[in-house]
Structure 1
Amino acid sequence: MPKRVDADGHEMSGEAEYYSKDFEWDQLRLEIESDPSLRHHCLPPEVDDGRTNPSATEYFSGSESSASRDSDAWNDFHARHSTGKFFKERRYLLKEFPELLSCDEHSKLLEVGCGNGSTILPILRGKGSINVYACDCSIEALKRVEEVIDEAGLASLKHRFHPFTCDFSICGFPKWLACDSCRGVFLKKQETYLSDTNNKGREGLNDFSYLSEKKCCHGGVDFVTLIFTLSAVPRHRMPTAISACFSILKPGGLLLFRDYGLYDMTMLRFGPERKVGFREYMRSDGTRSYFFCLDSVRDLFVHAGFIELELEYCCIKSVNRRNGKIMRRIWVHGKFQKPT
């Protein structure tokens, strides 16, 4: 029997076991690709070049004004949903990514695209010593996340929470998080270890305590979380975004990924007029969404230098609490490591 969850896969009540294989993705793929009414979702990239939507030319221009419109759209989105609980806490994340609970004391995590804090809250609650840096392109989102932390009674934990505005797909991350010199040290340590066949020098590979003496930056992070964030980045800016994440991770650091999968029900609701590119769509409010297959995720992260640890579809049957209809949700789950 399908569990009761909301539209983003949050359990509605209780601590039910988390399932991720309610059906087979390949079976759904065959069903979708044989349905003529859904043909516009399946066109190959050489046929579907974004001309369906008149705004696609502007979208692919990659101009700063286009990036500014992206931020404006998300500002408007979070302003509209500033009250109530449009997003619920993603408590399942600590089950999906137990590394966040077992990490070293005072580990540092960067949550990219923090929204209103639905990912941050369970992490702050679950790991008492972790330091969380959180960024978003939307100023409205950052205002809301601080309010949410106060409302949740976590004001005493705010010394471990550090929000800042950033569009990582355009300008990367600020140098106070990891300066150019420290990023070079990260790379040099990797090269030293990889070229040392006798394993000499392996001791202290991940010892970055000396960086605190420099006081030029925070010396990078141990974790990066990309939870339903990369899909909102225009496809042509994704490689830059992933490279930025790679650059501020310490060697051995983990990037934890979860996002919309190919043929998720949200994708199937878009009409052809909403397409702005191959598997890319624009909503009526100006926000965008991309739907990932496993190969597209693998190519992005491996090309940036990451090692793939886990990558799979999560196929969830959920019940819409308003109308009782069963929904088939597809998410991509991944864990990637910076080489050590």
Structure 2
Amino acid sequence: MSVLVTEASEYHSKDFNWETLRQEIENDPSLNYHLLPFPSPQQEEQHSRDSIKAWQNFHIQHSSGKFFKERRYLLKEFPELVSCEDGCKVLEVGCGNGSTALPILRGNEKIILYACDCSNETLERAKEFVAASNVVSVEHRFHPFCCDFVTTGFPKWLTCDYCREMFALKGQNYLSDVREKRTHETDICCVGGVDFITLIFTLSAVPLQTMPTAIRECFSVLKPGGLLLFRDYGLYDMTMLRFEPEQRVGFREYMRSDGTRSYFFSLDVVRNLFICAGFIELEIEYCCVKSVNRQNGKSMRRVWVHADPANGDIQSDRGELKMKLFEPSQYHGTHTTSNS
């Protein structure tokens, strides 16, 4: 068996039960502070500005790209990206240095990828990272643009006036009316909505109180019947338990020393956030994996949520959460509920 196949098998194994982990954590007095209620958070506007600035500084500090590994597992985790038809449009939200964009572009030459981030410096690194890869026709298929989708919303060209009118009629007119300046990257005709949105380790970096707005923005640019692919930190992942009491900035919400933040999701929170925004859940479950740190030999328990049994390789030392969601049935004429 090859190393890749072995890693893929380990990646999807259920090494421990999440409920057992939950009981262990909740019965450990030394970890009790993770469970305590938290006072009202600071003002949303200030919270958002501080978070954006912290992430901009983080990406500048790690601009070499060595900090982020290319997420080669994505096409195994989300095979829909491999089988989609010619001209399929994907929106990568919070693209960072391009570690998610590149495997998508490399894995399917038919995909057109729109990638946004709140930092111009980060987008420059992403463009350099993708350009250096020699991916076929990448200059015609990769469209990065600067956007803080939480505070200003997505640019109008991602969807069309007809779509906006339909959302308004349905009471779902969430698309931003912000007038953005067009650049050569965004000087394109109406995209007409996207077929897929990838939200990979992005939502957890957004202040909790702004998450509903962020998800509604994603809903507003997704085509009827489109698919949102979500992956993020899971509750009681080892990285959550490493935070000290003074690093708590909310319930299940923490801030690192550099000012970047992270929220750890339970299934119920993810389900409620997305369903309230108008999505339909296809599948969501915890996946718990033990991994060994190669440097110190210590075992690490990571919490993920998997939507299907697709294979993938280990790429990070963090807990992850993955979910697939469709737009509601009234927009595409079919009722979709599936656990397969």
Give the aligned partner of residue 140 of structure 2: 159
TM-score, normalised on structure 1?
0.81
- Contact 2:131–2:138 under 8 Å retained in 1: no
- Contact 2:47–2:207 under 8 Å retained in 1: no
- Confirm whether residue 316 of structure 1 aligns to residue 316 of structure 2: no
Q: After TM superposition, which residue ranges in structure 1, 4 or more long, deviate above 6 angstroms?
A: 186-189
- Contact 2:205–2:263 under 8 Å retained in 1: yes
Give the aligned partner of residue 25 of structure 1: 18
Q: Which has the larger radius of gyration?
A: 1
Matches within 5 A, 1:264-283: 264-283=237-256
SS in 1 for 2:144: strand
One-letter identity of the residue aligned with 1:26: E
Question: 1:22 and 1:187 mapped to 2: Cα distance?
Answer: 47
Structure 2 gaps of 5+ residues are: 173-187, 304-319, 333-340
Aligned with residue 103 of structure 2, among 122, 128, 138: 122
Kindly state the Cα deviation for residue 151 of structure 1 after the two structures are TM-superposed: 2.4
- Contact 1:94–1:122 under 8 Å retained in 2: yes
| Residues 1:336 and 1:84: Cα distance change in structure 2 (over 3 Å) | closer
- Confirm whether residue 140 of structure 1 aligns to residue 121 of structure 2: yes
Kindly state the Cα deviation for residue 216 of structure 1 after the two structures are TM-superposed: 5.3
Give the aligned partner of residue 205 of structure 1: none
Matches within 5 A, 1:10-21: 16-17=8-9, 18-21=11-14
Give the aligned partner of residue 28 of structure 2: 35
Question: 2:108 and 2:136 mapped to 1: Cα distance?
Answer: 15
Structure 1 gaps of 5+ residues are: 5-10, 51-55, 192-214
Tell me whether 19-28 or 327-336 shows the greater mean CA deviation.
19-28
SS in 2 for 1:182: helix
Kindly state the Cα deviation for residue 14 of structure 1 after the two structures are TM-superposed: 7.7
- Confirm whether residue 251 of structure 1 aligns to residue 224 of structure 2: yes
- Contact 2:78–2:229 under 8 Å retained in 1: yes
Identity %: 65
SS in 2 for 1:170: coil
Question: 2:296 and 2:121 mapped to 1: Cα distance?
Answer: 31
One-letter identity of the residue aligned with 1:145: A
Question: 1:308 and 1:20 mapped to 2: Cα distance?
Answer: 23
| Residues 1:250 and 1:188: Cα distance change in structure 2 (over 3 Å) | farther
Matches within 5 A, 1:284-299: 284-299=257-272
Kindly state the Cα deviation for residue 85 of structure 1 after the two structures are TM-superposed: 1.6
- Confirm whether residue 173 of structure 1 aligns to residue 157 of structure 2: no
| Residues 1:111 and 1:16: Cα distance change in structure 2 (over 3 Å) | same
Question: 1:155 and 1:62 mapped to 2: Cα distance?
Answer: 42
- Confirm whether residue 235 of structure 1 aligns to residue 208 of structure 2: yes
SS in 1 for 2:156: coil
Give the aligned partner of residue 307 of structure 1: 280
One-letter identity of the residue aligned with 1:109: V
Kindly state the Cα deviation for residue 48 of structure 1 after the two structures are TM-superposed: 2.0
| Residues 1:228 and 1:242: Cα distance change in structure 2 (over 3 Å) | same
Question: 1:76 and 1:149 mapped to 2: Cα distance?
Answer: 21
| Equivalenced residues, count | 295
Kindly state the Cα deviation for residue 183 of structure 1 after the two structures are TM-superposed: 2.7
Give the aligned partner of residue 44 of structure 2: 62
Question: 1:184 and 1:329 mapped to 2: Cα distance?
Answer: 43
Kindly state the Cα deviation for residue 256 of structure 1 after the two structures are TM-superposed: 0.4
SS in 2 for 1:260: coil
